[in-house]
Every structure is written in C-alpha cells, then in structure tokens.
C-alpha cells in the first residue's frame, strides 16, 4: 500500500476497529517498507478518476502464478510501480487493474475469461494486475484464498491480495469488479469501468494497444 493509503488506512482501521470485532489483517499479508519504495514514481496528480495518477499501491501476491506455484513461500511484493514504464523500456503498453472478491459471482465469471485475454494481449504489452480483496463471507482475502483462486482459474498474470481494500479508493464501497486502465508512461487512469463491461472494455484495450504499437 502507498504511504498515503497507509495513513488513511490506519486512521480508518482505528475508527472502525478500535474496540470492535473488525477482522485484523496479519502483517505478513500487507506489503510495505523498502520493498515498495519507488523513487522514480510520479509524486503528484494523484486521484481516483480518469486523468489522475494512481497511487503506488503495494501488495503481497504472485507475479507469475502460472510459472511459480502460488504457495505462501513463493509470495512476492508487487507494486504498481513495477509496471511504471516512462521510457517504454519494460515493454508495458497498458495496465489493467482489476478487483475481485470470492463472494462476487460477476468476478468469478469475469476471471473465467481473463487468462485468455492475458495470453492473447500480453505479448502486445497488456499487463493485468488483479487484486482479490475478500473471501466468500466478506473476510479479508488471505494467501490461501488467492492460491485456490489462481489454481482454479489457471491465472497467468500478476494477482495479489488486498485485505485492506486499498483499491476501494477507486470505486464505490463493497462493489466488484472494478476495471481500471492505466497508462504505464504516466500512471494516469485512462478509463474506469465499474463492473464487468467486457463488451466495451476489450475493444477499447485492443484499439489502445494498436495505437500504442504505432507509437513505438
């Protein structure tokens, strides 16, 4: 999570959780510290709407669950800055940030299709980063939840857990999925889709990748 989110989250957790039964997230499931530092990341213009820069949120998860078994001992810290590509040297043309929850049947349906999209469009520079934030009973997602999820869907793109629901900053509360397209050159939000709007989102991604290929 970003420093800004960390401070907001700490305050929110205290308001919600001090003296209450709010579930506590084990610290090992929260990324932070120097592994999330990204000195070159944009420092201003942050926000949650198109044209705004996304925070450098930082999570625990699996970067390539199709190549490295998604088990706790293989967990990695993954930050949006990993895909920030201002000079175009990383081969990232477009970032799709997705959220999912186990209770969300629309997310389940959507994730049945994402690996095919990743396989087709990954070579053209699309990076999908998906964040699982709650289990089937609205508890914060765990690495075990994530393992079962990626095993089931044969997930072939970076997938993380977001037990603090940091990405809720970009959508109405208790809603999923959210799909947000981000320009890796600037980390500015290009489009935001609340819900699985594949019929309009994927054609946009195709056109954007084609346009960016023309620029490269």
Binding residues (CB under 8 A) for another protein: these are 65-66, 69-71, 101-109, 111-112, 136-138, 144-145, 147-156, 172, 174-177, 194-197, 199
When the beta carbons of 2 and 164 are compared against another protein, the nearer one is 164
Nearer to another protein, 53 or 150 (CB): 150
CA distances from 84 to 38, 87, 88, 107 (A): 10, 9, 9, 26
Choose between 85 and 162: whose C-beta lies nearer to another protein.
162
> Cα-Cα-Cα-Cα dihedral of 121, 123, 125, 130, to 10°?
60
Measured from the CB atom, is 35 or 152 closer to another protein? Answer: 152
Other CB atoms within a 10 A radius of the CB of residue 214 amount to 7
CB of 146 to another protein, least distance (A): 8
In angstroms, the CA 195 to CA 143 distance is: 24
Are 157 and 167 in contact, with CB atoms under 8 Å apart? no
Rounded least distance, CB 64 to another protein, Å:
10
Helix (H, G, I), strand (E, B) or coil at 14: helix
Sign of CA dihedral 51, 211, 107, 131: negative
In the complex, minimum distance from the CB of residue 21 to another protein, in angstroms, rounded to a whole number: 13
Shortest reach from residue 150's CB to another protein, in Å: 6
Smaller CB separation from another protein, 81 or 164: 164
Q: What is the DSSP letter of 212?
A: H
């Amino acid at each position: 999570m970003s420093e800004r989110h960390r401070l907001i989250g700490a305050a929110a957790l205290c308001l919600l959780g001090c003296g209450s039964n709010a579930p506590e997230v084990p610290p090992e499931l929260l990324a932070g510290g120097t592994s999330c530092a990204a000195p070159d990341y944009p420092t201003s213009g942050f926000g949650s709407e198109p044209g705004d820069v996304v925070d450098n949120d930082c999570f625990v998860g699996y970067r390539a669950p199709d190549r490295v078994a998604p088990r706790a001992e293989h967990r990695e810290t993954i930050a949006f800055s990993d895909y920030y590509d201002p000079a175009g040297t990383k081969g990232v043309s477009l970032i799709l940030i997705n959220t999912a929850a186990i209770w969300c049947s629309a997310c389940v349906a959507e994730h049945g299709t994402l690996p095919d999209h990743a396989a087709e469009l990954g070579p053209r520079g699309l990076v999908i980063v998906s964040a699982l934030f709650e289990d089937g009973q609205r508890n914060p997602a765990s690495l075990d939840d994530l393992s079962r999820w990626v095993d089931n869907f044969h997930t072939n793109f970076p997938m993380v857990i977001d037990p603090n629901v940091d990405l809720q900053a970009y959508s109405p509360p208790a809603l999923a999925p959210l799909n947000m397209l981000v320009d890796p050159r600037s980390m500015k939000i290009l489009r935001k889709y609340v819900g699985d709007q594949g019929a309009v989102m994927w054609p946009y991604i195709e056109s954007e990748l084609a346009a960016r290929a023309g620029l490269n």
